[in-house]
């Protein structure tokens, strides 16, 4: 028989028994033994008395603690916030990003989300409080021996608040012994004395903040296989948090928006729009507002959204093209707009959405259509050169999630402008094998554009460039043909990292020339929308003019080299997705 794995220990040796007090002493040791017995008796009595007193004291303490707990002296300092909740009059409001040594020892009030909460034994809890973006601070809730202002039940309650709940806390700013690595504010911590739950988050979030901050795994609008979707993630956030799909992000729009990467993208986008506006205003452009609802599918009828409009039909504008030209015809020298445009294209690509933001401009041409190109190139360079400094932190945040190579800019005076034909030549000579025979008369495909972008980056050290003189066949009816070579137009596209972000050019301002080109394109100049357009140039003399349309979503996305333009939009609209 084998031995048991945990054999029982051998019985302990019985201790030598001490003689009982008062027991008969052995013969011959009479006096000494009596004395010893008395001494032992006194000692035992003393110890029994000591033990009794200690027990009494412990019982009294336990009773006091129990009473304090039942009473909870901190009960007014925590709980769900109600209209009766009382805050201190002397707590100051200060944003986490403005905390300085001056605030040490001062009482502040903070409104924040619980990013994380953990108990440290029964008397202490740590909470990460996030005020906005990545601005968070460590909050310490420690029970006071007197049970107030923080009691043990309060600690337990705060430590159990669900992540992403919104709380209002008060406490004193202190310097921690060692910097708090897990929070952006690492040099201070908040010693909480009041904590009220303003709005509770559910126990299980649809998507955790950690998952929301990971790169998106899949941009398809189709339901991905179950193992790819990260649904109902547990609140426990680990380093190995799986990435979620775009569908999961959009289904959990609040957590999607709370991710620092989305907030950084939104800030960069807003700043880019601001830079666009400020540059154009400084160059004499006036803002105008084109309509979204229009009465005719002006740009040909394809890719246009139709909707019932009382007893008629209306359309959503595919661009403000005609309206910005009406502004010029109406006597404005330089105009711009920034607003939504709609395309009913069933294009499920990382470059397309059914609604995007168009940054459009139009201007009178004095001598040469390149004046317009100077402005378009100028405004984009202004955006790229300034965004680096203005949004350095945000760009770094985005790159921590979506790493990418620096967006290369040309040196001032060394901007790259090639003709379309020169671009095709480069592709034929230096591009991949399959582009050896590309033609100067046909528009470029997306793979051709990307290949050319790579060649230009290598050759000229820039990710931003212009292709001018597009073939006639590749441009709409309103594009002005080159008077010296009608096979090409005075029209151009601007590119970022090999992808088109802006189309522009000179428009035909002479109604006779316009009608002739409309016919050449196989369109009836008397058709609805087209007739009204041609009439603009018949109503009064209109000067030569040109302009361009920039897609803001693409500018943001390709500057940051995001995997999809959908990430740059606030609420991406795709053929299958209209929510949220």
Residue 352 bears catalytic tag: yes
Q: Which of 132, 345, 422, 532 binds ligand ATP (CB under 6 A)?
A: 345
Give dist(CA 537, CA 532) in Å, integer: 9
Contact assessment for residue 293 and residue 309, using Cβ atoms and an 8 Å cutoff: yes
Contact assessment for residue 362 and residue 335, using Cβ atoms and an 8 Å cutoff: yes
Residue 576 bears catalytic tag: no
Give dist(CA 311, CA 353) in Å, integer: 29
Residue 500 bears catalytic tag: yes
509 is an interface residue for ligand ATP by CB under 6 A: no
426 is an interface residue for ligand ATP by CB under 6 A: no
Structure tokens at 26: 């052995």
List the catalytic residue out of 131, 189, 500, 515: 500
Report 533-562 residues binding ligand ATP (CB under 6 A). 549, 551, 553-554
359 is an interface residue for ligand ATP by CB under 6 A: no
Residue 345 bears catalytic tag: yes
- The strand ranges marked E within 29-158 are 78-80, 92-93, 107-120, 124-132, 135-142
| Number of shown-chain residues binding ligand ATP (CB under 6 A) | 16
- Closest approach, Cβ 219 to ligand ATP, in A, equals 13
- Closest approach, Cβ 343 to ligand ATP, in A, equals 4
Q: Is the preceding omega at residue 149 within 30 degrees of 0, hence cis?
A: yes
Task: Report the half-sphere exposure of 474 (CA within 13 A, side-chain side).
Answer: 24
501 is an interface residue for ligand ATP by CB under 6 A: yes
List the catalytic residue out of 269, 351, 475, 545: 351
- Closest approach, Cβ 566 to ligand ATP, in A, equals 9
Residue 351 bears catalytic tag: yes
List the catalytic residue out of 164, 554, 564, 566: 554
- Closest approach, Cβ 368 to ligand ATP, in A, equals 22
Give dist(CA 260, CA 397) in Å, integer: 8
Name the residue among 152, 160, 142 with its Cα closest to residue 66.
152
Q: Which is nearer to ligand ATP, 176 or 301 (CB)?
A: 301
- Closest approach, Cβ 360 to ligand ATP, in A, equals 9
List the catalytic residue out of 132, 237, 271, 345: 345
Residue 503 bears catalytic tag: yes
Q: Is the preceding omega at residue 580 within 30 degrees of 0, hence cis?
A: yes
List the catalytic residue out of 136, 151, 298, 503: 503
Contact assessment for residue 190 and residue 129, using Cβ atoms and an 8 Å cutoff: yes
297 is an interface residue for ligand ATP by CB under 6 A: no
Report 174-233 residues binding ligand ATP (CB under 6 A). none
- CB contact set of 1 (below 8 Å; sequence gap of 6+): none
Element (H or E) spanning 386, and its range?
A: helix 370-390
379 is an interface residue for ligand ATP by CB under 6 A: no
Q: Which is nearer to ligand ATP, 180 or 456 (CB)?
A: 456
> Which span (13-21, 116-124, 429-437, 497-505) binds ligand ATP, by CB under 6 A?
497-505
- Closest approach, Cβ 321 to ligand ATP, in A, equals 9
Angle at CA of residue 505, ends 503 and 511, nearest 5° = 130
Residue 554 bears catalytic tag: yes
Sheet hosting strand 491-496, strand order edge to edge: 286-287, 334-342, 355-364, 545-551, 499-506, 491-496, 464-468, 417-419
- Helices marked H in 445-551 — which ranges? 446-460, 511-520, 530-539
351 is an interface residue for ligand ATP by CB under 6 A: yes
Q: Which of 183, 209, 372, 502 binds ligand ATP (CB under 6 A)?
A: 502
Crossing angle of helices 260-282 and 370-390, rounded to 10° = 140
> Which span (74-82, 209-217, 352-360, 384-392) binds ligand ATP, by CB under 6 A?
352-360
Which residue numbers are catalytic? 343, 345, 351-352, 500, 503, 554
Residues near ligand ATP (CB under 6 A):
343, 345, 351-353, 356, 358, 500-503, 549, 551, 553-554, 565
């Amino acid at each position: 028989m084998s031995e048991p794995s945990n054999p029982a220990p051998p019985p302990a040796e019985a201790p030598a028994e001490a003689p009982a007090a008062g027991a008969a002493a052995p013969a011959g040791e009479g006096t000494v033994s009596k004395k010893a017995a008395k001494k032992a008796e006194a000692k035992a009595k003393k110890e029994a008395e000591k033990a009794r007193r200690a027990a009494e004291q412990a019982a009294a303490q336990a009773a006091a603690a129990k009473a304090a707990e039942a009473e909870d002296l901190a009960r007014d300092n925590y709980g769900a916030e109600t209209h009766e909740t009382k805050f201190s009059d002397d707590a100051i409001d200060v944003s986490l990003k403005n905390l300085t040594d001056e605030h040490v020892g001062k009482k502040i009030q903070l409104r924040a989300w619980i990013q994380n909460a953990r108990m440290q034994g029964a008397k202490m809890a740590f909470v990460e409080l996030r005020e906005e973006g990545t601005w968070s601070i460590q909050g310490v809730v420690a029970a006071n021996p007197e049970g107030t202002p923080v009691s043990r039940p309060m600690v337990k309650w705060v430590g159990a608040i669900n992540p992403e709940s919104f709380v209002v806390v008060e406490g004193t700013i202190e310097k921690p012994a060692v910097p708090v690595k897990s929070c952006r504010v690492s040099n201070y911590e908040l010693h909480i004395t009041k904590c009220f739950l303003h709005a509770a988050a559910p126990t299980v979030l649809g998507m955790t903040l950690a998952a929301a901050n990971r790169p998106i795994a899949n941009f398809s609008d189709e339901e991905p296989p179950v193992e790819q979707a990260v649904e109902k993630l547990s609140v426990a956030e680990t380093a190995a948090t799986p990435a979620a799909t775009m569908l999961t992000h959009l289904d959990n729009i609040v957590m999607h928006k709370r991710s620092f990467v989305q907030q950084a993208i939104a800030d960069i986008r807003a700043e880019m729009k601001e830079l666009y506006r400020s540059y154009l205003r400084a160059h004499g452009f006036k803002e105008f507002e084109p309509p979204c609802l229009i009465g005719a599918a002006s740009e040909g009828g394809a890719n246009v959204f139709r909707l019932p409009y009382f007893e008629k039909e209306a359309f959503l504008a595919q661009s403000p093209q005609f309206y910005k030209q009406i502004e010029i015809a109406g006597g404005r020298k330089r105009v711009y707009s920034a607003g939504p445009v709609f395309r009913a294209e069933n294009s499920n690509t990382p470059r397309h959405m059914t609604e995007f933001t168009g940054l459009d401009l139009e201007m009178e041409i004095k001598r040469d259509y390149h004046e317009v190109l100077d402005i378009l190139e100028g405004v984009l360079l202004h955006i790229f050169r300034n965004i680096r400094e203005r949004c350095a932190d945000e760009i770094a945040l985005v790159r921590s999630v979506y790493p990418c190579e620096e967006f290369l800019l040309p040196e001032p005076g060394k901007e790259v402008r090639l003709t379309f034909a020169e671009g095709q030549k480069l592709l034929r000579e230096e591009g991949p094998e399959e582009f050896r025979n590309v033609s100067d008369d046909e528009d470029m495909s997306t793979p051709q554009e990307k290949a050319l972008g790579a060649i230009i980056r290598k050759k000229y050290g820039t990710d931003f460039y212009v292709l001018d003189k597009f073939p006639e066949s590749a441009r709409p009816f309103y594009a002005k043909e080159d008077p010296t070579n009608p096979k090409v137009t005075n029209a151009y596209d601007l590119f970022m990292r090999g992808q088109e972000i802006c189309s522009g050019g000179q428009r035909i301002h002479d109604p006779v020339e316009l009608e002739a080109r409309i016919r050449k394109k196989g369109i009836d100049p008397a058709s609805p929308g087209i007739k009204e357009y041609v009439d603009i140039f018949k109503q009064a003399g209109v000067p030569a003019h040109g302009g361009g349309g920039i897609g803001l979503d693409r500018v943001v996305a390709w500057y940051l080299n995001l995997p999809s333009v959908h990430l740059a939009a606030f609420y991406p609209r795709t053929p299958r997705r209209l929510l949220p």
